[in-house]
């Protein structure tokens, strides 16, 4: 059982952004803001996260599954940019996934 998996969503879209990550809604009202999501109830070696963009530069469901390695105090940052690209920065593996 992995513990303390922290996630942060960062908005560089230049407009309001709302995303849903595994059923958890994150609203970021302005450019450059960030909001943490703490302790998703997942376990095992890997975690799969499904992202739906409800408001922002690119609406709709991100069909690809984002995989973050498990472990104590692991974290991931989802960065939404002006052109609708979402990047995932994850630790401890430091993977960078462009969606």
Domain boundaries, the chain: 6-98
pLDDT score recorded for residue 36: 85
> Pairing mode, if any, of strands 86-91 and 96-98?
antiparallel
What is the percentage of the chain residues whose pLDDT exceeds 90? 2
Distance CA 33, CA 96 (A): 20
CA torsion, ordered 75, 51, 89, 26, to nearest 10 deg: -60
Give dist(CA 64, CA 79) in Å, integer: 16
Task: Find tokens 């995932």 and name the residue.
Answer: 88
Contact 47, 70 (CB under 8 A): yes
> Any idea of the CA torsion for 9, 91, 38, 34, to the nearest 10 degrees?
-20
pLDDT tens-digit readout, 68-90: 666 666 677 888 888 777 887 76
pLDDT of residue 94: 45
R_g of the chain computed on alpha carbons: 13
Prediction pTM value: 0.74
């Amino acid at each position: 059982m992995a513990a303390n998996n922290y996630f942060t969503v960062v908005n560089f879209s230049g407009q309001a952004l709302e995303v849903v990550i595994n059923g958890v809604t994150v609203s970021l009202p302005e450019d450059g803001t960030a909001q943490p999501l703490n302790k998703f109830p997942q376990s095992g070696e890997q975690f799969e996260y499904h992202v739906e963009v409800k408001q922002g530069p690119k609406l709709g469901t991100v069909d690809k599954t984002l995989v973050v390695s498990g472990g104590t105090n692991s974290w991931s940052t989802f960065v939404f940019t002006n052109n609708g690209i979402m990047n995932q920065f994850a630790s401890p593996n430091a993977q960078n996934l462009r969606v």
